[in-house]
């Protein structure tokens, strides 16, 4: 008899959806105008389906959209006949990394949770939070640009803002930070993200110049592989240093912890290869007494929902907003995750699986290809 929890079909669709507004990152990354993702569906022998999503950003995880498609084309046939119970309970998601694995791993968790009628977080760990505050990012620019965004989104309930930096003189960025904090004393939390845009000397000057401001964290000030420089900065800076591009895998979390090269660890479900890998990274961070930032790429509601399901199981979330706003930054989404955000805070639905609806007709509207196995 066929195991009802065995995968009998795998379908995936690469998509391209415009952003609601262009997003100016550091000079290293330029300006983004579209989000790209691959939505993946597994179907079990009992008819239950599970959804996953890959969000390739070559600069972050080494994967292009084409690379994800090729990886999934070769891996999808190997999933036929695999039990999602075995996948989740034997940690098979730990055997691979990167965004194609994230799509497969999240789909297996979603399918098993739906089959058992439980939310995904019940398969991941013990729930610690009812909801999680979301941050809102601002583009690279001037304090006046930040303040216009902050005024708009504060009215919608957002309290934490991530200021993108990294391609202007350090003194200008220090003045920008001071001007924003002076305009909003005590009202908002600010974090900054340089996306690898600074030299060691520039990062040191920023940490000194802005060190007396109540900034929540400085993310990825230095090149991803400069753990020595990050460790020196962690020792010298009064402000916590967050690692994002440096945090690729379970191996990299160990290397960062050994080097003392991070105070906060930016977990992204797609970058970090899915729920099993991201949970293992978070557990290592918690065991080391460090903090977690649940962060996002430009991504759709499947990855955002997976991030929320995992985020509510971590005790060591950094005391600030986390990245659950990605769907609101897109002109459209293929899920209803945006409805989980209420007054700037993300709440899980009391529903099986990821707790979202995925709309196939939206996938078909934005697909730039479709692939079917099984
Ligand atoms: Mg970042």
- Alpha-carbon span 150 to 158, nearest angstrom: 8
Q: What is the DSSP string of 329-354?
A: HBS--SBSGGGGEETTEEE--SSSBT
Q: What is the mean pLDDT of residues 3-30?
A: 89
pLDDT per residue as tens digits for the range 316-364? 999 999 999 999 999 999 999 999 999 999 999 989 999 999 999 999 9
Do both 162 and 291 map to the same domain? yes
**SS3 assignment, position 209:** helix
Is 1 a domain residue?
no
Total domains in the chain come to: 2
Where is 54: in which H helix or E strand? strand 49-54
Share of residues in the chain with pLDDT > 90 (%) = 92
Do 159 and 230 sit in the same domain of this protein? yes
Ligand 1 centroid to Cα of residue 219, in Å, is 6
**pLDDT, tens digit, for every residue of 100-135?**
999 999 999 999 999 999 999 999 999 999 999 999
203 and 257 inside one domain: yes
Contacts of 29 (CB under 8 A, 6+ apart): 59, 195
Compute the distance from residue 271 Cα to the ligand 1 centre, in Å: 11
CA of 334 to the centre of ligand 1 (A): 24
Say yes or no: 68 and 163 in one domain: no
- What mean pLDDT is reported for the chain? 96
Residue appearing with tokens 């036929």: 80
Give me ligand 1 centre to Cα 359, in Å.
29
Question: Which residue(s) pair with 162 in the sheet?
Answer: 137, 191
Q: Are residues 333 and 231 in the same domain?
A: yes
- Strands (E) across 195-290 are located at 215-219, 241-243, 264-267
Tell me which residues have their CB within 5 A of the ion that is ligand 1: 193, 219, 244
In this structure, the answer to whether residues 307 and 271 fall within a common structural domain is yes
Distance 30 CA to ligand 1 centre (A): 14
Is residue 277 in a domain? yes
Q: How far is the CA of 61 from the centre of ligand 1 (A)?
A: 12
Between the CA of 297 and the centroid of ligand 1 the distance, in Å, is 8
Ligand 1 centroid to 118 CA: how many Å? 32
Strand partners, 10: 42, 373
Find the 162 Cα to ligand 1 centroid distance in Å.
9
User: Distance, CA 342 to ligand 1 centroid (Å)?
Assistant: 24
CB 355, CB 312: distance < 8 Å: no
- Tens of pLDDT, residue by residue over 46-77, are 999 999 999 998 888 889 999 999 999 999 99
Residues 190 and 283 in one domain: yes
Whether residues 66 and 138 fall in one domain: no
Q: Cα 38–192–24 angle (5° rounding)?
A: 50
Q: Tell me: do 185 and 258 sit in the same domain.
A: yes
* Position 25 pLDDT exceeds 80: no
Question: According to the model, what pLDDT value does residue 27 have?
Answer: 67
Q: What's the confidence (pLDDT) of residue 1?
A: 67
| Domain span including residue 305 | 125-347
Q: What is the mean pLDDT of residues 146-170?
A: 95
- Domain check: are 299 and 193 in the same one? yes
Residue 353 domain-assigned?
A: no
Distance 224 CA to ligand 1 centre (A): 11
Domain co-membership, 99 together with 142: no
List phi, psi (to 5°) of 197. Answer: -80, -10
- The answer to whether the CB of 140 falls within 8 A of the CB of 164 is yes
Environment class of 69 (CB within 10 Å of its CB; exposed 0-12, middle 13-18, buried 19+): buried
Whether the Cβ atoms of residue 343 and residue 321 lie closer than 8 Å to each other: no
352 found inside a domain: no
- Residue 360 CA to ligand 1 centre (angstroms): 30
pLDDT at 23: 79
């Amino acid at each position: 008899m066929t195991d009802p929890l065995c995968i009998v079909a795998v379908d995936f669709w690469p998509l391209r959806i415009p952003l609601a507004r262009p997003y100016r990152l550091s000079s290293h990354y330029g300006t983004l105008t579209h989000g790209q993702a691959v939505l993946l569906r597994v179907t079990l022998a009992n008819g239950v389906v599970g959804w996953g999503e890959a969000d390739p950003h070559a600069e972050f995880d080494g994967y292009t959209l084409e690379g994800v498609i090729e990886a999934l084309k070769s891996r999808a046939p190997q999933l036929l006949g695999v039990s999602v119970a075995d996948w989740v309970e034997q940690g098979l998601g730990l055997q691979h990394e990167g965004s194609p694995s994230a799509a497969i791993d999240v789909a297996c968790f979603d399918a098993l949770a739906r089959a058992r009628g439980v939310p995904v977080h019940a398969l991941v760990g013990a729930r610690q939070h009812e909801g999680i505050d979301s941050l809102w990012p601002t583009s690279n620019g001037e304090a006046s640009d930040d303040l216009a965004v902050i005024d708009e989104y504060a009215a919608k309930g957002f309290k934490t803002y991530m200021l993108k930096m990294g391609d202007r003189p350090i003194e200008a960025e220090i003045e920008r930070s001071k001007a924003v904090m002076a305009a909003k004393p005590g009202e908002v939390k600010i974090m900054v993200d340089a996306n690898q845009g600074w030299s060691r000397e520039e990062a040191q000057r920023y940490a000194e110049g802005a060190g007396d401001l109540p900034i929540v964290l400085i993310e990825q000030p230095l090149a991803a592989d400069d753990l020595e420089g990050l460790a020196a900065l962690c020792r010298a800076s009064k402000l916590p240093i967050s690692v994002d591009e440096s945090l690729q895998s379970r191996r990299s979390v160990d290397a960062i912890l050994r080097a003392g090269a991070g105070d906060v660890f930016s977990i992204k479900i797609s970058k970090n290869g899915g729920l099993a890998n991201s949970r293992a990274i978070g557990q290592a961070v918690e065991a080391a007494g460090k903090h977690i930032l649940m962060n996002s790429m430009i991504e759709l509601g499947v990855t955002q929902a997976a991030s929320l399901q995992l985020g509510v199981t971590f005790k060591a979330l950094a005391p600030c907003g986390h990245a659950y706003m990605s769907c609101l930054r897109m002109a459209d989404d293929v899920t209803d995750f945006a409805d989980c955000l209420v007054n700037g805070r993300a709440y899980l639905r009391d529903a099986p699986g990821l707790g979202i609806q995925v709309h196939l007709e939206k996938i078909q509207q934005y697909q730039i290809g479709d692939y079917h196995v099984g």
